[in-house]
Structure 1
Amino acid sequence: MQNLTELPVNATSQKRLAVIIKVCAVIPFFCAFLCCIVVMLHIFASQRQFLDSSRYILFAHMLINDTLQILSSVLLFLFVMGQVKFPVVYCVPLLFVSTVTYQNTPLILAAMSLERYVAIFYPLQRPAAWHSGRIWIINLCLWLISCMFPIIEYSIGKQDPAVKILSTPVLCKTVVFSSSPIQVLFRSAVSVMFFAVVAVVIFFTYVRILLETRKLRQDRVSVNKAMHTVLLHGFQLLLCMLAFTLPVTEKLILLITNWLLEDIIFFNYFCFILIPRFLSPLIYGFRDHSLRRYVGKTFLCCSNKVKPHVRNKQRDRSFAS
């Protein structure tokens, strides 16, 4: 009898340990990402030259979008890990933000590639919407497109009559609200459409800029930089598309190992959703020479603020002696 009573206790303790390990693996990555994003956004806000460039405004828009996406994703992860339940009215906005920002990322990448295309082919006669003062119109259109499809997805589903929006506590997961076959099919079709359209846009702009480099003899350096930037957007899109590999990787891991299902789900979430989202804006941001220089100056200023304090202490000690 004693052994039978110890088994549930051991299982519960192992489960709690696994939850603690998972949380400790996610939180440091999130804090490091948030620190880098805050530094970049501070540089954008303090340097006028970045606010006068459509390219950097779109990049700042992507940083804010990815920060919202990761913040909502990590909050949902923590709620699931802690088995926190709350009414539907509080859960739907969090899931809505996570879905909208997830779909908005490839659209921003397409807009950034088109901005490079417009900058190369229409340097003097740039359309009004692509000027830095009116780029907010494009950003607003991207948000409207991204919000439209989740609203349609939620509206075509059937609500469980036993679940009351204001009082019934539920575990905040996407499957709770989008579990019907038509919703799953609609969500998959929208995701494939988004990424296919963005892939076509990036491929078109890359080929056009590549052909332009063969024609131009002057200003070849800027055209090559634009071509490499568009190619980097394609790599960022591939990072975002890693989320589509989740069903395949789950089956492969089940065949190869004997992991628990919740461990497989966490592994896929960490490797194919979080890490690509961490890397995508950081790779693009630290690759840019101007932004990288200001980031270095920011960290140097922080270190220089500490050094005079230490020197003053040493000076006071020398006078005291």
Structure 2
Amino acid sequence: MRPLNDQAIIVQVLISLFLYIDLLMIVTFFKKEAFHSVTRYIFFAHTLICDCTFLVISDVLLLLSYLRIIMPTSLCMLICAVVVNLNVATPLTLTAMSVERYVSICMPLRHAELSTPQRAAHAILVVQAMASVLMLVTMISLAVVMPLDFYLSRRVCSLEMLQTHAWQKNLTNAVSQFYFLLMSLAICFCYVKIMGVARVASGADRSSMNKGLRTVVLHALQLLLSLIQLWCPFVELAVLQIDLHMFVNLRYFDYVMFILAPRCLVPLVYGLRDESFLAALKHYAFFGCYNKITPVTKDKKNHRKASQRLQT
């Protein structure tokens, strides 16, 4: 075991800050019943829960690996399976949120029919099923190449131990790239459609459309950071062959920039930019002293009226 250095302490501070903000937003969602019937808030809460769970588990793995504490391999595989699932579930949920914005702006007359809590719950189940594909591919490929003694051993837990052969890494990378291709196409489609509607809008209508457009752009930015995360192992491997100290610093930078930072953007997009949610967040953050809570339905009704005028 070795003591924590400055980099490890900084990571703990950042994760604690992100967890505090995310948990505060989760409490706000469950406290305010009006949010439970709005699809975008349901997706938002699911993203926050996935991110919080991912940050906690990945941070525990980081500390165990840093301190070189061993655990049963079977337990490590179970933990890694959950981490892989959560890591994919977040960008998939963001894609679903972009599609919901597309339906709200470009199909306002059918938005009430399509965006219901029941359909949102079904969409979350589909997201979790799709996110499990990468985890199943990883575990099945590991079962093909590793003997029984591997599962009965004890070792330092890390995701790298699940990919012992080059073809395993190539297979998981191919599945990850396929995920990214589908999500990129969906977000680009939503962006183009919303931009087309925003061009013909005017006044308050145009302001509402531009807000939805900026939301989709921020989702695309977070998706881009997630894609760079897939490229990091290739760059790190090349740097490892040159200099070990540079490799350690690069890996630290990649973890902060491409794993922590994307999960910081979700509260920024849907928590702090949404007037209704921000007002409720301030109310609960200041223990009820801030009482200016904007009704959730007000913005929704105004947007629906503006969209109907645009359709006519």
Query: Structure 1-normalised TM-score?
Result: 0.80
Give the structure 2 partner of residue 282 of structure 1: 267
Deviation at 1:225, TM superposition (A): 1.9
Which has the higher Rg, Structure 1 or Structure 2? 1
Superposed CA offset, 1:118-177 (max 9, x none): 112322323855312331000001101111221122112334337342x41011112212
Q: How does 1:56-205 map to 2 (within 5 A)?
A: 56-126=41-111, 130-157=115-142, 158-161=144-147, 163-165=149-151, 167-205=152-190
SS at match of 2:90: helix
- The 1:288–1:256 alpha-carbon spacing in structure 2 relative to 1, beyond 3 Å, is farther
SS at match of 2:109: coil
Give the structure 2 partner of residue 55 of structure 1: 40
Distance 1:258 1:87 in 2: 28
- Which moved further from structure 2: 249-258 or 173-182? 249-258
Give the structure 2 partner of residue 219 of structure 1: 205
- The 1:302–1:242 alpha-carbon spacing in structure 2 relative to 1, beyond 3 Å, is farther
- Which moved further from structure 2: 128-137 or 201-210? 128-137
Q: Which runs of 5+ in 2 are unaligned?
A: 291-312
Amino acid at match of 1:275: A
Deviation at 1:252, TM superposition (A): 8.2
Give the structure 1 partner of residue 284 of structure 2: 298
Amino acid at match of 1:47: K
Distance 2:123 2:5 in 1: 42
May I ask how many residue pairs the two structures share in their alignment? 287
Cα RMSD after superposing both structures: 2.6
Deviation at 1:20, TM superposition (A): 3.1
Deviation at 1:204, TM superposition (A): 0.8
Give the structure 2 partner of residue 33 of structure 1: 18
Superposed CA offset, 1:224-269 (max 9, x none): 2221211121122122223134246537867998725434323322
- The 1:120–1:145 alpha-carbon spacing in structure 2 relative to 1, beyond 3 Å, is same
Give the structure 2 partner of residue 307 of structure 1: none
Quick check: 1:235 aligned with 2:235? no
Give the structure 1 partner of residue 248 of structure 2: 262
Give the structure 2 partner of residue 45 of structure 1: 30
SS at match of 1:219: helix
Query: Structure 2-normalised TM-score?
Result: 0.83
Deviation at 1:192, TM superposition (A): 1.1
Give the structure 2 partner of residue 12 of structure 1: none
Q: Percent identity?
A: 28
Deviation at 1:69, TM superposition (A): 1.6
- The 1:145–1:265 alpha-carbon spacing in structure 2 relative to 1, beyond 3 Å, is same
Deviation at 1:112, TM superposition (A): 0.4
- The 1:196–1:159 alpha-carbon spacing in structure 2 relative to 1, beyond 3 Å, is same
